[in-house]
Amino acid sequence: MLAKRLYSTITSAKPVDGFIGAIGNTPLLRLKTLSQQTQCEILAKAEFMNPGGSVKDRAAYYVVKKAEESGQLKPGSGGTVVEGTAGNTGIGLAHVCRAKGYKCVIYMPNTQSQEKIDLLKMLGADVRPVPAVPYDNPDNYNHQAKRYAESLGENAVWTDQFDNWKANRQAHIETTGPEIWSQTEGKVDGFTCATGTGGTFAGVTRYLKEKSGGKVKAFIADPPGSVLYSYFKSGGKLTERQGSSITEGIGQGRITENLKPDVDLVDDALFIKDEDTIAMLYRLLDEEGLYIGASSALNVVAANEMAKILGPGHTIVTIISDGAYRYQSRLFSRKWLESKGLVDAIPKHLHKYIVL
Ligand code: PMP
């Protein structure tokens, strides 16, 4: 008799084509304690296992692929990809550009950490910090990125992750959604996650709703400082942003083009406080050995809430967008946690993890 397998079956033993070939097909993790407590299956898609370390590798690859298909970029001719972001999309794009031989130019607000600038430079990107001004100012980093790409003319593209919904959201319609459906064998009742560009939420929701004939419920999760919770709760009123959150990469002041085609698919919205996010982040480390970023911890809080709302016996899926590595100097620093008033939100027995 074969020994009981400790690890899940390897799905593909064949070699893949480098960085690009390693994007996607991430495992779906059962969170055991939360599942037991809610008597639901709480499953989290391990997007930190993408080769660039985040869910954004998928969108980065798709925006470049779409630019090649439309002729904006010519493979093998050293074109230029321009984006305005200091976050995971920039990192994903920098990797994809190296893998495909394109130049990568990243505009970002000059308020971003040196850590982020250095990482992008190490990945070969041409990093251009510009003054941090609001979106409606023509000197905002997004507009500068756009103008620069236009000034290059031929064989250059501004990837426009926020409003390039055809490619960003499409990555999740064609990959993340189908993976979740197949990994759960179609037994999925709820999906929830927070949104930055909205690509992940919209793409996965669109696919799961279509496959299930509308049965899968979709709850949008929202941090403080974002307007989506109040937008959906008020039946479509956009308000000013108020407050801020420790989460990075999520929260919105508007309905992005990624989200627009799918706003009618949102069944409900959940507001998740930073206190609950940080407590979950430490709890998942302790209970599951998972070292995840704050947006991911927020997503798991939302999945837990959704399980309580739908009741026992349901399967809820969410996203672990990235690991804690990019944020550890903050998330595990007592001083930083104190500055945010969050130390007491972490249960006492988990304070041993506050090591910085
Ligand atoms: N979490 C993190 C850490 C991210 O960087 C992002 C992307 N901004 C998201 C969540 C949200 O993903 P999306 O842009 O697909 O809404």
Look at ligand 1, atom 5, and give the residue with the nearest C-alpha. 249
Look at ligand 1, atom 8, and give the residue with the nearest C-alpha. 249
Is 56 tagged catalytic? yes
Task: Work out the average pLDDT over 337-353.
Answer: 98
Task: Work out the average pLDDT over 122-151.
Answer: 93
Residue 86 has pLDDT above 80, yes or no: no
Nearest to 267 by CA among 212, 341, 192: 192
What pTM was computed for the model? 0.95
Distance CA 169, CA 58 (A): 10
Buried b (16+ CB within 10 A) or exposed e, 95-120: bbbbbbebbbbbbbbeebeeebbebb
The ligand 1 atom at the shortest distance from the C-alpha of residue 293 is 3
ipTM: 0.99
Q: Is the CB of 90 under 6 A from ligand 1?
A: no
Distance CA 28, CA 218 (A): 18
Per-residue pLDDT, 71 = 93
Among 56, 65, 66, 100, the one annotated catalytic: 56
Task: Work out the average pLDDT over 101-120.
Answer: 90
Residue 304 has pLDDT above 90, yes or no: yes
Look at ligand 1, atom 2, and give the residue with the nearest C-alpha. 249
Per-residue pLDDT, 127 = 96
Q: In the chain, what is the greatest distance between 2 CA atoms, to the nearest angstrom?
A: 68
How far away, in angstroms, is 5 Cα from ligand 1 center?
A: 34
Residue 346 has pLDDT above 80, yes or no: yes
Per-residue pLDDT, 1 = 41
Answer yes or no: are the C-beta atoms of 126 and 106 closer than 8 Å: yes
Look at ligand 1, atom 6, and give the residue with the nearest C-alpha. 249
Mutate-to-test residue for ligand 1 from 197, 222, 331, highest number of ligand atoms within 8 A of CB = 197
Residue 336 has pLDDT above 70, yes or no: yes
Look at ligand 1, atom 7, and give the residue with the nearest C-alpha. 249
Q: Is the CB of 249 under 6 A from ligand 1?
A: yes
Q: Is the CB of 250 under 6 A from ligand 1?
A: yes
The ligand 1 atom at the shortest distance from the C-alpha of residue 199 is 15
The ligand 1 atom at the shortest distance from the C-alpha of residue 294 is 3
pLDDT above 90 covers what percent of the chain?
A: 85
Q: Is the CB of 92 under 6 A from ligand 1?
A: no
Chain segment 163-205, per-residue pLDDT in tens? 777 899 999 999 999 999 999 999 999 999 999 999 999 999 9
How far away, in angstroms, is 249 Cα from ligand 1 center?
A: 5
Q: Is the CB of 205 under 6 A from ligand 1?
A: no
Mutate-to-test residue for ligand 1 from 321, 325, 326, 331, highest number of ligand atoms within 8 A of CB = 321
- Provide the pLDDT confidence category of residue 2 given band limits of 50, 70 and 90: very low
Chain segment 210-237, per-residue pLDDT in tens? 999 999 999 999 999 999 999 999 999 9
Answer yes or no: are the C-beta atoms of 249 and 313 closer than 8 Å: no
Per-residue pLDDT, 9 = 57
Per-residue pLDDT, 162 = 75
Q: Is the CB of 196 under 6 A from ligand 1?
A: yes
Distance CA 49, CA 305 (A): 25
- Looking at every residue in the chain, the average pLDDT score rounds to 94
